[in-house]
Structure formats: C-alpha cells, structure tokens
Amino acid sequence: MADYKNFKFDVDADGIALVTWDMPDKSMNVFTEEVMDELETIVDRVAGDAAIKGAVITSGKDSFSGGADLTMLKRMFQLFQEEKAKDSQKAVELLFKSSGRMGGLFRKLETSGKPWVSAINGTCMGGAFEMSLACHARVASDAPGVKMALPEVKVGIFPGAGGTQRVPRLTNQQDALQMMTTGQSLTPQRAKAMGLITEIAPAKKLVETAKKLIKGGLKPVQPWDEKGFKLPGAPIYSAAGANLWPAASAILRRETYGNYPAAAAILKCVYEGLLVPFDTGLKIEQRYFTQILQTLEAGMMIRSLFVSLQELNKGARRPADIKPTKFTKIGVIGAGFMGAGIAYVTAKSGIPVVLIDRDVEAAEKGKAHAADLIAKEMQKGRMSEEDKQKLLSLIIPTADYADLEGADLVIEAVFEDREVKRQATEKAEAVLKSSAIFASNTSTLPISGLAKVSERPKNFIGIHFFSPVDKMMLVEVILGKKTGDKALAVALDYVRAIKKTPIVVNDTRGFYVNRCVLRYMSEAYNMLIEGVPPAMIENAARMAGMPVGPLALNDETAIDLSQKILKAALADLGPKAVDPRHVELVDKLVNEFDRKGRKNGKGFYDYPAKPAKKHLWPELKTLYPQQDPDKVNVEELKERFLFTIALEAARVMEEGIVTDPREADVGSILAFGFAPYTGGTLSYIDGMGAKKFVRRAKELQKKYGAQFKAPKLLTDMADNGETFYQRFDPYKAETQKQAA
C-alpha cells in the first residue's frame, strides 16, 4: 500500500489497482490541489508499472464526490484579483493555466495506456463526474440515492474539465445540451440509457463488476481517440444538426433571457468542439471557461450559491461555544398544511416527531398528508415501501400535550392568531423539560410579542418555514429580543438536521423575505395602476430573472391575504404605511369580483379545469386605462422590479434585521428566486457599484415614487466607494483571529 493522504492504493493478485478516494476529516470527497497532485502521482504509477493491468477508482465514503472544493475556488479568484491589480494580461494567463489543471489531469488519465474504471457509489457531481467520464468505463451502484450530474451552470460556470467535450461524444447532442444547461441530476438508469455509464451493479458487487471489465479486456483508449470515430448522434453539419441547433439556441434564450453567460458558453463549446479534434475541443472549452470565470455573473453566483450557501449550511452563524444537539424527539403543534409538512421533513431526517392537533382525527390527517408526499416520492422512484413504513412510524399523531415530554424542540404551526399561539405555548411549556426550546412558525407576528407569554423567553425563537415545506430549501430563524444563544444554536442544528438552509433574522414585521416579496408585488400593483399591460408586467419580471411573475406569485400567496396585510399595516402603522390605490385595487378584486387567487380558481389569472392552462384574467386590463405597449420601456420595468427588492434588502441591513450579507443574498434566491444570476439582492447592488446604483435609484424615485428612495446606508456606501461585503464583512472576526 502506497502512502497517500487522500487515497488508499492496493493491487490485487490479478494486477488490478484499487484506488479508494477517502479524504480524512471530510464527510465528502472534494477536489483540492493536494488531491489532484496525489491523483496525478497515482496515474503515473499505474501507467509506469508493467505489473499493473488497470485501475478502478472508487470512494471510501457513502458518496463518491461533490466536485471541487470551495476553498480552492475562492483561492483561485483571490489570486486572479490580486494579479489583475498588477497586470491584467498576466492575470488572465494565470487563470487560463489554473482552469486547465483539472482537465489536463483527466486527459492524462485517459491517455495513460492503462484502462481505468470509475466505480460510482452515492453522489457523483461536477469535476468528479468529469473524471469518471475520462475513465474508459463507468459502473454505478444500484443503491438508492446514487446520482450523477454536471451542475456547474447553477453556480454561474460550466463543466470546464472536459465535460462539454466528452458528454456529446458519448450521447446525442440534444440530451447532452439539456443535461449541462440545466444541471439536472441523472439516475444510474437514465445515465446508462444516455450512454454515459457502462453498467449498473449491486452495491456489494460494485468494485468486483468494475474489475471484471478490466479482466474482460477493456480497451485503454477512448472512442474519440480511435480512427474513424463517429458521434453517437448526427454531425453538426447535417439535416438533424440543422434542426437541433437553431432550436437549442432559441430554447436557451426563452429559458434564460440571456441572463446566464455560462449556459450560452456550453452551446458554444459543444458546437465548436464537435467540429474539431478532441484535444482542440478541450482547448476551446478551456478558453470559454477562462472567459466565463471573469464574468460578474460567475463571480456573484459562485460566491452566493456555492461558497456562502455551503458556509451557512455548515453553521456559519451558529454560536461556537454551545454543544451540538442530537435530536431524539421533536414536537410539532398544528397538523395543518404547514405543520404536517414540518413533521414530514423532520421524520424524513430520521427524527421521531410528535404531531399534535385539537383531536387525534385532525392529527391523523396531518400524518396522512405526509403519506401523500411519500407516495409522490415513490412514484418518482425516490422512496421504497420500506422507506415509507420507516418514515411514517416516526410520526406520532396525538391530541395530548403530555406526549411532548422529553422533546428537545417544539415548533408550533397553529393558526396566525396570538390567542391560539398563547394557548399552544402555555400547554407545551407545562410539560417540557427546562432546557427544551420552543419555536413559532409564524410568518407575520413578531417573535418578541409572542415570547411575552413564555415563562422562558430565552428559549423562545422563531423558525419560519416557507410553503410547501418539503420543497422550499430556506428557513428563517428569527431572534426575539430575549432569545438566547442556546435557542439559536438548537434552531440552527435542527435546520441543518432536516437539510435546509438557515438565515438568522432579527425581529421585525414581515422579517426579511416577506418584506422583499411584498415590495415585488407592490411594484406590480403600481404598474397595473399606471396602465402597463398585465402580460408585460409578468414577462418583464421573468426577463429580469424572476422565476414567477408578481401577479402569478400573488395568486399563489392569495390576494385576500394581501388584503389582510394591507389592513393590518393600516391599523398598526397608520395611513402613510400603505398606498390607498393598492387598497382600492385589492378590495375591488376580492370584494367586488371575488378573485382571491389560485385557491378559489380566480385571481389575477383564471384557472380553468385541466388540461387547459391558467391565463391572465381578460378583464384585468379594463380596470385601468392601458398604455400603448410599444411605448412602455421594458428595460425600465425590469429595473424597477430588481431595484425595489434590492432597496428593501438594503433597508433591512440598515435596520440591523439581517446582519450578514451572505444571508441576505442566499435568502433572497432560495426563498423567492431573486434573479440568481445577480448573486442575490445585495450582490446585485455590489455588482453595479453603490454609486451607480444610488444614482439610478434617484432617477427612478423622481419618476415613480418614494419606494425607490435609497436609504442613508446606501448613500454613505456610495460616497465611500464601499460594498456590502466590505461594510458588513462576514469574515472579519475570522481574519482578525488569524492575524492575532
């Protein structure tokens, strides 16, 4: 056995090397510079030893690999910026060289003269799947949860280690483009059907099957390196190619509105790469990859959706001096749609959960909702009957609060009424141990007010889920005025246990996410009242990068809920807190036309019976005199949506509601899909520059109103040339600690 830090290396009696990737002190294997150095040494050893007939590479962990390490990417960007300040040309050359490191290693592996087989167990993502594609065969385990993907486009880049050249040489171009431009995950069955893996094997026979391929005479040459190689699909210049490529470009434009340079680069890499020899194709890919790494979109998306997201998931905001909680029992009060969803995701994570409602029958309905969710997962092949029985056995429906005894955490998800919540709090605290944490899933009521009825406000916290709980990945953890560090640590431990992303928010009306969402919908009201055609409002929002138009989103959240929010703001904050025109619009929709949204089949949209699709309510355009569509500035509509949301995020930072820019950015993307290509609400401002942003905000304010007034924080940042990540440096404490 050779001495490697990240790999185990064994050669069996048949002369087949087993390379087991198993990084110490890491839960998942990732590519680092050290890993690549060691792997290159191993490739050289296999190639240079005549006694070794071939090699199988597998993982010693539950998963194969998650791809590149975030610290390596951060360092690469940091070195580029440092060099760019001195010599921009040299900086680009350095970036080009470093971006080709991984691709060069994989090319060396596949041309080493010895057959390599990748034995894939668990998740195999990004660079790890590109390495597997460079192997001469791939065997995937049939165990549940095994999946492969090239998801780089989701963080603003693309498969730059040979992925754009190998995938379309193994499968047809249409499937290759769809896989890479969406970043979709593949099951072993789908990957085999596409020709991306060679075999599927039982988990216990994975390595044995991989070795058998080498024993059977696996050629150590890739198909594209053999004379006479033909693409699995038709050539670029063919009748089929003439049908595919114009359509592919049009579909990409329709889906991305040109907001994602990396997605467009994938098409260029595949199109140009398939017209030339493989090594030239790799060079084309490397050049585009270097170009994309320099884009604003890549920089912002990598920071928010790769680096910051992982840091928050690992507990970046967790108090470090508090021992982690291992949950043995969770209580959920309220078995309605939200409570049942919370119980489901808790049990899915293997934690026993007591689900309480007014009677056992109501609690059983909540458990039945969980069963429905499991049934949908089973239809998609993601769960088995065994998984179903195990999960449902962890949910105990009851009407007896005494069953909460021994719970580490209790989450109430009852009706949004202070009195109902007071009763739930008092009944739960009567049986809970003194160290237990009580959380409210409220979306509108301030936590500090709800905590007043608690006998232990230090242990009272908000855990705000978004609907539907099983699909939405963000959770707002809300601190009341008296919430202690222990409650925060337990809440963050719980969110991590159920595999969701937490952001920490200080107490305020609407917290963070809802404040931003309300601004989004409010600006749509303004546009309607101005006479902007409704279809233009929805399309402009999607063109700006939002996944759902504001009118469609309002239908989902319910228009009568908007009516209640406006009335509550009027009652609590006075007439200046609301626009009377908005009240008039919403009242007319709800009271006069009974249009409450999707829930009653009519809102801004009509919802006919399937298979007919929803469509904008034709009478909507008659409520206000309509502008000539040709005279409406679509670019300005797009700006208005992004600016009004980003300005609200800046106000939230100014008020100290959110204190970490990573949370503002990640939260805005995960919760309501704020234009991911910007990197999030604050990155949108940072990317434009505070000075330019404030100048444009003033122009919009003059033209459209006070909602575009920049807060003092932003004007100060503009004057000082600051960014949010400088002013609210999330790494400041860490940097100071290292300096000391």
Catalytic residues: 464
Distance CA(31)–CA(8), nearest Å, equals: 16
Output the six-digit token pair for 169: 């040489």
Distance CA(90)–CA(509), nearest Å, equals: 50
What is the CB neighbour count within 10 angstroms for residue 612? Answer: 9
Phi, psi of 323 (to 5 degrees): -60, 135
Helix residue spans in 227-359 (DSSP H): 239-256, 261-273, 278-293, 296-302, 309-313, 337-348
Distance CA(558)–CA(596), nearest Å, equals: 6
DSSP string, 119-141: EE-SEEETHHHHHHHHSSEEEEE
Task: State the DSSP H helix or E strand holding residue 21, giving kind and residue range, or none if neither.
Answer: strand 16-21
Place of tokens 């905000």: 697
List Cβ neighbours of 10 (8 Å cut-off, separation of 6 or more): 1, 17, 18, 20
Crossing angle (nearest 10°) for helices 634-654 and 681-688: 110
Task: State the DSSP H helix or E strand holding residue 541, giving kind and residue range, or none if neither.
Answer: helix 534-543
Output the six-digit token pair for 705: 């109103």
SS3 671: helix
What Å distances lie between residue 271 and 174, 261, 279, 292, CA to CA?
Answer: 11, 15, 15, 17
Output the CA torsion 573→575→577→578 (10° steps). 130
Distance between alpha carbon 225 and the CA centroid of its chain, in Å?
A: 37
Task: State the DSSP H helix or E strand holding residue 564, giving kind and residue range, or none if neither.
Answer: helix 559-573
SS3 147: strand
Place of tokens 């009519």: 602
Crossing angle (nearest 10°) for helices 261-273 and 163-170: 60
Crossing angle (nearest 10°) for helices 173-182 and 163-170: 140
Phi, psi of 555 (to 5 degrees): -65, -40
CA-atom Rg of the chain in angstroms: 28
